């Protein structure tokens, strides 16, 4: 069991289930991990660490991969800006890191 207010409320009724930090939404695990402005800086830091880790691992294999960071790819619906594009043996791999908690459709929204 997690200690977010919505979960605790299921066992012990709470006066409020609003987020203790941002006070703008119900305090669920998905809110804390994926939406709360209070944890946004940590989410961005985690995202960037994963992106940098992947870029570093691909750079080690520079003889096998061409890595393009933050490329701009024009499409019919507008420009896309994935964080990493890796080209290997004529194939293009688009890597766009997303840090989300998979609960109640938040992954689809992300």
* Residues 25/36, Cβ–Cβ less than 8 Å: yes
Coil vs helix vs strand at 18 = strand
Comparing 97 with 21, the larger pLDDT belongs to 21
Cα separation of 63 and 25, whole Å?
Answer: 48
Burial 76-108 (b: 16+ CB within 10 A, else e): eeeeeebbbbbeeeeeeeebebebbbeeeebee
To the nearest whole percent, how much of the chain has pLDDT over 90?
31
> What is the rounded average pLDDT of the residues 40-46?
90
Q: Is the pLDDT of residue 27 over 60?
A: yes
Coil vs helix vs strand at 57 = helix
Measured in whole angstroms, how far is the alpha carbon of residue 14 from the centre of its chain?
30
Q: Is the pLDDT of residue 19 over 90?
A: yes
pTM: 0.66
| Residue 40: domain span | 5-109
Number of domains in the chain: 1
């Amino acid at each position: 069991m997690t200690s977010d207010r919505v979960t605790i409320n299921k066992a012990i009724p709470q006066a409020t289930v609003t987020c203790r930090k941002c006070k703008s939404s119900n305090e669920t695990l998905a809110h804390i991990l994926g939406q709360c402005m209070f944890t946004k800086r940590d989410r961005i830091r985690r995202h960037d660490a994963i992106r940098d880790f992947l870029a570093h691992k691909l750079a080690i294999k520079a003889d096998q991969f061409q890595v393009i960071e933050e490329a701009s790819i024009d499409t019919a619906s507008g420009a896309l800006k994935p964080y990493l594009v890796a080209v290997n043996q004529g194939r293009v791999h688009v890597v766009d890191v997303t840090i989300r908690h998979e609960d109640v459709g938040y992954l689809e929204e992300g």
